[in-house]
Structure formats: structure tokens, C-alpha cells
Structure 1
Amino acid sequence: MAGDIYDRIRALIASGAYLGGDVLPESELAARLGVSRTPIREAMRRLQAEGVIRREAYRRAVVVDVDPNEVIHIFTARASLEPIAVGMAARHSDDAFLKELRELHEAMDEAIHESEPDRRLYRDLNARFHRVIWAQGGNAFFAELVNLVARKPVVSPTFNSWTRAELMRSNRQHGDLVEALSAADAEWAEAAMRAHLLSSRATYRRISADTPEAAPRKQDWMFPDPGTAEIKPEPVSVR
């Protein structure tokens, strides 16, 4: 029960129903989700431990509004951790793993080339692409460590503000990763992953600099929980 409530509250925040700085009243959430306050409190403790919410005066739960500098630090941390993860994946690569990555890569390309890029779908596919790589390394502890860093809440601008050209560049880099993993070349894969994440960090810096401080801010996740993503966990069918 508590796990389901946690997913639903996290999904509400990710959808923009609650923004950074908003109070999350337990009674309101309980009524909205049709449950007692006990599972709400359990879910809130988990969200607080993950840094999604914080407690203020009178124990009010408030959605954390992440500072852009913290987002830069997250990208920097990922640029150190994820090359290790992809290197391990290269050493444990198999046909099923490569097939799934190719399908995700092609599906992201299709999302980009819609008349208006489907950024939400691209975000969810991107999250799956990276998660598949982490899982392939055979080290569940390290995969969870990377996930803990990557799934930190990120206040827009994120993929919602990326141009088509920036999305295309990002997905070309995914293609480089697929090639390196297909060659089972750990060193190449590690270099490709680091370049990919540093490029994404530079894009975030560009978007942050172009966004006025007074602009409306919508909560978003670079890495939504699998339970809150809009796509299903089974392999993507390529048309």
C-alpha cells in the first residue's frame, strides 16, 4: 500500500500538480488518493529521505525546488558514475540487451521526428535506455547507487525545453553508445557515456541561462520511477 501511495504522490509532483515550494497537506493527499493518513505519512518519509520533499515549521511537508547548481552537480556526478556502469555492461553484453537498446534508440528517434517532438516520451525512453545499461553490469548495488543519483527531482527546464537539434544530438550519442556496446569495447563505451553526459550538462546550462527567474517552473524528472513513466516496461516495438 505505502509503495503504491509513494508512486502516486511522486507522479503528482512530476506532473506539475505540486510545484517546488508547494505544501503537501497530508489530509488533502489522503482525500485525493482515497486512503488514510497512515500510508501517506509512510510515503512522505520516503520522499523526504530521497530529497523530494522537506519538513518545515509545524512539520509541514514542502516540495523541494532544486537549485540549478544542484542539477549541474547531479550531471557531474553521473558523468563519473555512469561510465563505470556502461563499462561493466560492455563486459556483460548479450544479444537481448543489445536488441533492447537498439529498439529504444530507434523509438527515441521516432519521438524526436514527430511534427512536434514528443519530449515526455523521449524522456521516458531515455530513462529506460540508461536503466537497461545500469542493470546489465551485473552489480545491483552499483546500479541502485547510480539510480539514486540520477532520479533526483529536476525542476524544468529539462527535456521540455530542449530543441529538436539538441534532442537529435543526444540521441546520436545514444547511437554511439549502442555501437560501442555492440563492439563490447568497454573503453569506448565509457568515453561515449562521459561525453554524452557532459554534453547534456552543457545543454542544461544553456537552457538555465535562457530561462528568466520569474518564469513559471514545472516539476520534471530526468529519471521518473518506472511505475510513473508513461511507457510500459516491455521492449519497444519498432515500426
Structure 2
Amino acid sequence: MWDNEVYDKLSDLIFSGEFETGSNLIERNLATRLGVSRVPVRETLTKLVAQGSLEGGRKGEGVRMRRYSADEIRQLYDYRATIEGGIARAAALSASLADVLRLSIICDEMEATLEEDKSGRWGSLDRRFHEALAESCRNDRYDRALKSLLHECFYVFYVLSRKRSRSELSVEDLKSHQRLALADHRALVKFIETHQPDEAESQARLHILRSADRVIRAAIETDLGE
């Protein structure tokens, strides 16, 4: 198994809610589970620590699933709102018709997952949308900055969402958020298509900060943030 496959499989386990926040991830056990040597697992864990979803534990404990306080979540999303607002502004000035079409197609696929109740695909499509947005702004620094943020933000959001589901909180609440997020995406695409940088930036910031409010509420309700 190649290192990127180990990364993908381990990321899937993390985002699936397989591990509780704060729990230790044992390198030896993960290597056995994935059927690989410990070297690629160790390298992958190091990468995930750098991306923010894992953190170093006490000596001898390896790494563990990261816990976030409400303040840390707010800081993370405030930073992302600033970065992604700038990306949306730049995209409204430089995105091509092909970029707009790509974003619109992803929105259509996201809508289909809601209609067909394929919520498992939502997260990957959501991430694809934001990555495509970053690529459309024609600024490599913005692109790299956002992609490094997305892993951490999506870890916080989806681990919280799955923990809420296990706590038997409303599934419809998640669906409602997804429908609102899709409406935000479509509005943003329209502003980019019609070259309205101020509106695109404001819409992107609104979308991210609205997600932050939901994540912080979820952290409080599930005691994930301490």
C-alpha cells in the first residue's frame, strides 16, 4: 500500500467517527489493521498532526484525536473566513467560465445527495467545492493556504456532526444545515459568475462564519470542546 493510500484510509477512519476525540491512536495497532508496516503509518500520523486533526500525547502514548475548545474553533473559522473571503474576491475577478461550470456541477451533485439521501458523499463534495473555489482564484498562495485549513476545519465539523448523531440529536438539523450551505454555495457561484467581488467576499465570509456558529453550538452540546 502506497503512503498516500495509508493517508486516505486513515483519514477515512478519522472522519467516519471510528475514534473518539481524545483517544490514543497506537501506531502498531493501526499498521496491523491496515496491513502495512509501521513506517508509512508513522509518517501519516506525523502529517495528520501537522494538519491539526491529531495531537501529540504524553510520552509513550503516541498521538491522539485532538480536542478543540470553543475559542479554538472560533479562531480557526475566523482565520478561514478571512482567507476564503479573499479567495472568493479573487475568483470573482479571475475565474473562467470553465471554473464557474465546475463549481455549478459540484453544487448539482451536492443537491443530488440530499434528494437521494446519500449523506455520506456530502462531505467529500463539500470539500471538492471549496478546493475548486481556491483553484479558481489563480493564486497559488491562497490555494495552498485554504487546502491546509480545510482538513482541520472538516475534521472539527464532521467529527462533531457524527458525535451529535450518536447522541441522537436531530438528523434533520444536519440536513437543514446542508440545504443552507448549498444555497450559500449557489449564491457564491452566481457572484463569481457575474464578477461581483465585494458580494462574493461577503457571501464566502457569511457562509464560513455561519458554519462556525453551528460547530461551536455542537461542541457545547456534546461536550467535545473543553
Query: What whole-Å deviation, never above 9, does each CA across 1:24-79 have from its counterpart, x for those lacking one?
Result: 22221121112222222222222222232223222522221233432222221111
User: What is the TM-score with the length of structure 2 in the denominator?
Assistant: 0.83
Counterpart position of 2:30 = 29
Q: Does structure 1 retain, via aligned residues, the 8 Å contact 2:92–2:197?
A: yes
Query: What whole-Å deviation, never above 9, does each CA across 1:180-215 have from its counterpart, x for those lacking one?
Result: 011022122111111111222223334344x243xx
Runs of 4+ in 1 over 4 A off after TM superposition: 158-161
Pair 118,148 (structure 1): closer, same or farther in 2 beyond 3 Å: same
- Whether 1:156 and 2:137 are equivalent positions in the alignment is no
Counterpart position of 1:191 = 202
Map 1:138-217; keep pairs closer than 5 Å.
Answer: 138-152=138-152, 153-154=155-156, 155-157=159-161, 162-209=173-220, 211-213=221-223
> Aligned to 1:84, which of 83, 86, 91?
86
1:202 is aligned with what amino acid?
D
Question: Deviation of residue 145 (structure 1)?
Answer: 0.9
1: CA distance between counterparts of 2:195 and 2:216? Answer: 32
Counterpart position of 1:56 = 58
Q: Specify the SS of the correspondent of 1:156.
A: helix
Q: Specify the SS of the correspondent of 2:161.
A: coil
Kindly, what percent of the aligned residue pairs are identical?
Answer: 24
Q: Specify the SS of the correspondent of 2:36.
A: coil
2: CA distance between counterparts of 1:47 and 1:139? Answer: 25
Q: Does structure 1 retain, via aligned residues, the 8 Å contact 2:96–2:136?
A: no
Q: Report which of the two has the higher share of helix.
A: 2
Pair 42,163 (structure 1): closer, same or farther in 2 beyond 3 Å: closer
Question: Deviation of residue 5 (structure 1)?
Answer: 1.9
Pair 69,113 (structure 1): closer, same or farther in 2 beyond 3 Å: farther
Question: Deviation of residue 156 (structure 1)?
Answer: 0.7
Pair 212,141 (structure 1): closer, same or farther in 2 beyond 3 Å: closer
Residue segments in structure 2 that go unaligned for 5+ positions in a row: 166-170
Pair 98,145 (structure 1): closer, same or farther in 2 beyond 3 Å: same
> Aligned to 1:103, which of 102, 105, 112?
105
RMSD, aligned α-carbons: 2.2
Q: Does structure 1 retain, via aligned residues, the 8 Å contact 2:53–2:151?
A: no
Count of residue pairs brought into register by the alignment? 211
